[in-house]
Amino acid sequence: MLKLFRSHSGFVVLILGMIGLSFLLFYNVPALSRLRSGPVGKIAGEGVSLESFRFSRQAAEFEMALFSGGRVPRQGGADRLLNEIAWGRLVFLAEAKRLHCVVPDDLVVRAIQALPFLQKDGKYSEEIYNQFVNEFLGARGIKGERFVEIVRESLLIDQVKLSLVSPIQVGPGEVERVYRSDFGPAKLTVVRLAAEQFLPSISVNPEQVETEFRRHGADPSLRIPEQRKIAFVEFALPPEQQKLPEKEKKEAEEKLLQRAEDFAVALSREEGKKEAFFKKAQEQGLPVREIGLFSEENPPNLPEGGGRGLADAAFALSEENPIGEPQRSASGFRVMVLTAVEPSRPRPPAEVREILRQKLAERLALEKLFQEGKALTASLRKDLAAGKPFGDLVREKKLAAETLTHFVPAEPSKELRDGAEIALVSHLLDPGDLSPFTPVPGGAILVYLEARDGPAVPESKELRRQIEEGLRESRQQEFLEEWLTEENRKPGYQLPKGLASMGQEEP
């Protein structure tokens, strides 16, 4: 079933569009923990029960599974993110209730039947829907009726968001400014400060380390991560078929994929799936390749590449369902089996203390970096206001700087270090402006804009339309972020005391 979702990413876009992930990430909701009875918080004066929160969390997990290709990401912070999304959904649904929003049954049905992944030969397929309910939803403990309600809730939330952002407009002058600043070649100077240059001046004493150990020693991220072993067989096109014309090669690949799917389906029906994998591979003359222990954070390093995708697929498997769906490879398709799982385990205390010492030193160095950066920015702006040339100030203060003579923010070079961050801040500047002190990986930058020429790209109505849409969407997102934050601060709203684990039980 995951293959179906990978090939119909429009469904993910639709669901995420309805729910609106992006603007739920910018307010501070503490982690929910140790809550077992009574309301977990309040929305519009009404208590939110643990059951209601779990239902909302279930919807968030469903959405995240679609977004991540069939599974909830295991990286640190995912659980907190899911809980934030769950709480945000409840706030928007409460607003929908206040506004008397209604979504008729026929609209819900049409929305479901219009989902791209439920189509076959250009029409809605009841067969595919039943497969989706039984396999994808069933594996997550979600019944068809609950899925229908999730879609209804999403449409209600969509109504609320549309009502909130509908007055937001973008003027022609704003489009023109962005057009010129994004596509006009600029001459600018980038000043860089690295956190590591402050590390030698940082000292961490044993008492500080012990304090960190007491506070963070049990942090799950400090454990040795879970590791896995896998094996896979390759269904590859023979060399003569690799050279076929595109149409014939595609037909050959489709037949190859069918063989791989038949192999995986046959294994899924076996009692002992792992043993059956090796037996059937031998029967079909398929060489088995085994990969030793690797973690999700450190995928295997394959000579042909693709280690990241292999790790993602491996960590989507389980002991109960150890056979993976066919996965695209450089020469064809792979079918994978999970052969062993080494659970996460604690690191030795001495190792944890050393990690915490290093993290504390890096954090203190970063703090010192921003203290120095704030003072440097103020000093440079004062000198610029007094008429001193920026180049002279760079030499006088012995700053590490780079001059870019033809920088186009809309098209930063991939080879340019911190290119995306430079583009982000430089397009907001006018000639003679100095940017804020801006964080980048490993440190921070200051950008001084010396001059900007007119756009070199041909005049384009479509480009201006895209800029206008981008500005509107950005402004709408910013507005919704602020609205959600302010809503949670109103009387009658009480955020949960914690947003960690709500327990393993399904609602």
pLDDT tens by residue, 250-279: 888 889 999 999 999 999 888 899 999 999
- pLDDT(141) > 70: yes
Instruction: Using alpha carbons, list the distances in angstroms from residue 322 to 228, 278, 316.
Output: 11, 13, 9
**Does residue 13 register a pLDDT over 50?**
no
Rounded to a whole number, what is the distance in angstroms from the first to the last CA of the chain?
24
Do residues 130 and 193 both lie within one domain?
no
Determine which of 256-270, 300-314, 340-354, 482-496 has the lowest per-residue pLDDT on average: 300-314
What is the per-residue pLDDT for 67?
57
Residue 310, domain member (yes or no) = yes
Q: Are residues 197 and 149 in the same domain?
A: no
Quick check: is 402 in a domain? yes
- Kindly tell me if the per-residue pLDDT of 27 is higher than 80: no
Domain total in the chain: 3
Structural domain contains residue 495:
no
Both tokens of 26, joined, read 């910018």
Domain that holds residue 387: 185-216+360-452
Least confident of 56-60, 177-181, 221-225: 177-181
Which has the closest alpha carbon to 226: 126, 342, 336?
342
Name the pLDDT band for 68 (thresholds 50, 70, 90). Answer: low
Is 501 within a domain? no
Question: Do both 304 and 373 map to the same domain?
Answer: no
Q: Taking 60 as the threshold, does the pLDDT of residue 16 lie above it?
A: no
Q: Are residues 160 and 232 in the same domain?
A: no
Instruction: Tell me how far apart the 2 most distant CA atoms of the chain are, in Å.
Output: 82
pLDDT at 136 (0 to 100)? 78
Q: What is the mean pLDDT of the chain?
A: 84
Residue 177 located in a structural domain: no
pLDDT of residue 46: 92
- Looking at residue 328, what is its pLDDT? 86
Whichever domain contains 205, its CATH number is: 3.10.50.40
136 and 203 together in one domain: no
Predicted pLDDT at 194? 92
Residues 6+ apart with CB under 8 A from 36: 50, 503
Which pLDDT value is given to residue 428? 84
Same domain, 63 and 207: no
d(CA 270, CA 262): 13
Residues 336 and 407 occupy one common structural domain: no
Same domain, 17 and 162: yes
**Whole-model pTM?**
0.58
Question: 444 has which bridge partners?
Answer: 193, 439
- The model's pLDDT over 200-221, given as tens digits with 9 standing for 90+, comes to 999 999 999 999 999 998 888 8
Q: Is 351 domain-assigned?
A: no
Note whether residue 458 is domain-resident.
no
Query: In this predicted structure, what is the pLDDT of residue 165?
Result: 93
Return the closest-CA partner of residue 164 out of 493, 475, 470.
Answer: 475
Residues 212 and 235 both lie in one domain = no
C-alpha span between 298 and 227 (Å, rounded):
9
List pLDDT tens digits, range 375-431. 999 999 999 999 999 999 999 999 999 999 999 888 888 889 999 999 989 888 989
Q: Residue 417 has which token pair?
A: 């270090």
Query: Which H or E run includes 220?
Result: none
Condensed to tens digits (0 to 9), the pLDDT of residues 169-195 reads 888 888 888 878 888 899 999 999 999
Report, as an integer, the average pLDDT of 456-462. Answer: 75
Candidate ranges 15-19, 56-60, 102-106, 298-302; pick with highest mean pLDDT: 102-106
Q: Which residues of 126-152 are buried (b: 16+ CB within 10 A; e: fewer)?
A: eebbeebeeebbeebebeeebbeebbb
Burial of 490 (0-12, 13-18, 19+ CB in 10 A): exposed
Beta strand 227-236 with 186-194 is: unpaired
**Both 295 and 383 in a single domain?**
no
Examine the domain organization and report whether 201 and 247 are in the same domain: no
- 498 belongs to a structural domain: no
**pLDDT for res 242:** 79
Q: Are residues 374 and 424 in the same domain?
A: yes
DSSP states along 401-453: EEEEEEE-TTS--TTSTTHHHHHHHHTTPPTT-B---EEETTEEEEEEEEEEP
What's the confidence (pLDDT) of residue 357? 95
What is the sign of the dihedral through the CA atoms of 295, 297, 298 and 304? Answer: positive
